[in-house]
Amino acid sequence: MIGTYDRPALTGGCQCGAIRYEVAGAPHEIYICHCGECRKQSASAFGISVMVRSADVRLVQGKPRRWARGTDSGRTLACFFCVDCGSRVWHGERDRAEEISIKGGSLDEPVDLSDAIHIWTSRKLPGVVIPADARQFPEEPEES
C-alpha cells in the first residue's frame, strides 16, 4: 500500500523482474517520442514516456543503476535501468525532480495512447502514422 491508496494506480518493473515499482497517482501526460535516442533506448520506432509525480513513485524491489546522457535540447537526462537485464524503467531523478518519466514498456498494463503527445515528429520513421487529431511537435515542446 502507498500512502492512503488501497493499491497503486500503476505498477511495473524491468524485463527480468529484479526491479519493481509502484505509482500511486495517475499519469498527467503521455509522450510518444520519435527522436533517435528514444528509438535506440526502446529498440523500436519510438519511445513512450508516462509522466508522473516523483513523490507518487515507490521502488518496491531492486536498485536501478543511473546513466546520464545529453539531449538535443541541451539538457542532461538521468536514465535508470536494471543492471541484470538492461531494461530502462524511468528517466529523471526521483529524489530531486518534481516529475519523472516512466518508460511505457516497463508498465505491467499498457497505457492508453489515444491522447498521447507526439514529440520530435521531424525525426519520425517513414511509415509511422500519427493520428491527425494528435497534439504534435516537430521537436521538444517548450516548458510551460
Contacts of 29 (CB under 8 A, 6+ apart): 51, 117
Contact in structure between 21 and 63 (CB atoms under 8 Å): no
Residue 89: pLDDT over 90: yes
pLDDT tens, position by position, 67-87: 998 877 778 889 999 999 999
What does the domain layout of the chain look like in residue ranges?
10-123
Rounded Cα distance between 76 and 96, Å, is 14
Q: Which CATH architecture has domain 10-123?
A: Beta Complex (2.170)
- Tell me what percent of the chain is helix, strand and coil, each rounded to the nearest 5: 10, 35, 55
The whole-number pLDDT of residue 144 equals 42
**3-state SS class at 13:** strand
Residue 2: pLDDT over 50: no
Residue 121: pLDDT over 70: yes
The whole-number pLDDT of residue 3 equals 42
pLDDT tens, position by position, 15-71: 999 999 999 988 999 999 999 888 988 889 999 999 999 999 999 999 999 999 887
Residue 9: pLDDT over 80: yes
DSSP H or E segment with residue 37: helix 36-42
